[in-house]
Homo-oligomer: A and B are copies of this chain.
Amino acid sequence: MTDRAETNGRGVTLEQVARVAGVSRATVSRVVNGNPKVAPDVRRTVERAVDRLGYVPNPAARSLVTRKSQSIGLVIAEPAGRLFEEPFFPRLLRGIGAALSSRELQLVLLMPQSPHEESRAERYLTAGHVDGALLVSLHGDDPLPAAVARRGIPVVVGGRPPQGSQVSYVDIDNVQGGRSAVEHLIETGRMTIATIGGPVDMSPGIDRLAGYRQALDAAGRARDETLEGAGDFSQQGGAEVMRRILAARPDVDAVFAASDLMAAGAVQVLRAAGRRIPEDVAVVGFDDSPIAETADPPLTSVRQPIEEMGAEMVRLLLEHATHPGAAPRTVILATQLVCRRSSEGVATG
């Protein structure tokens, strides 16, 4: 009888604990799993044996019979891409992690970098390694959510899922985000408001532009194609588009960029052209990333509730796990405008 876990590879088993405690395997199992149908004194005896031997249940054996793995998969389909960067990824993980930890679930991270790896991820998810799957950053036509859902694995997508796939998803209200940014510019007296949009084949890009247009329409302002440009979310892309817009419309006095990086690029170009910010031109970004705060001047930006999105994805997933037949659901989360100096109102007193 050693008086602690022997590190003899094999690990302590239920059987051994049962022997030491002088009860059956079944009873030890009951104690370990918190089954109330155990006499208090027996329970104590078993508990003592458990920590004297340092018993830890073998997860594989358990999961073999319960058919539960106590873990869920998170697939980031584009780990090299934009979503892998600040502030999205850490915040998403934080939200998911917090929601998970209170439920004794673990997170398995899958970062397929190629179609081949993506099909491996699909096999992994459908093999029973996980009790559910969270998918983010999908390409428009990704078959993954449908494939996984077909196998009966609960699935929740972050962002808008591929068309036609009948799965639950959580998304940020990008339209509202864009609209609120532009409304802010209108309210603070800006007259000629340009936008640097995102790629026109990505839903955040499309939606933020739609928000810009909605806000102008609602205010009865005429839209003007010369005030709209499409960037690629990068700083250089933003600078480029800004240069074009500035050339066509030197009278611009406000810019809404669909990312903070593009906003930063715009600021550079505007400065180089002798414009003061915010006095001559107001600038608003999107994402509320660290650079928004660090920039000079600090950038007004649209903050997305990304932690909340992660938590909500987990909530939806567990809902599906407990109600297998349930219909897909959609949750859209509102954004919040964070005002900083880059869009401070001109004194039109």
Contact = CB atoms under 8 A, between A and B. Distances in A.
A109 B128 contact: no
A69 interface: yes
A111 to B, nearest CB: 4
Nearest to A271: B296
B264 A294 contact: yes
A63 B69 CA distance: 12
B294 A261 contact: yes
A117 to B, nearest CB: 6
Interface in A49-63: 56-61, 63
Contacts of A58: 64, 127-128
Contacts of A152: 7, 9
Nearest to A126: B56
Interface string A108-150: 1111110001001001101111000000000000000000001
Nearest to A87: B86
Contacts of A94: 79-80, 84, 111
Q: Which of A7, A80, A87, A271 has the most CB of B within 10 A?
A: A7
Given A89-B89, A90-B90, A101-B113, 8 more contacts: A7-B152, A11-B128, A56-B128, A58-B64, A59-B60, A59-B69, A74-B109, A268-B296
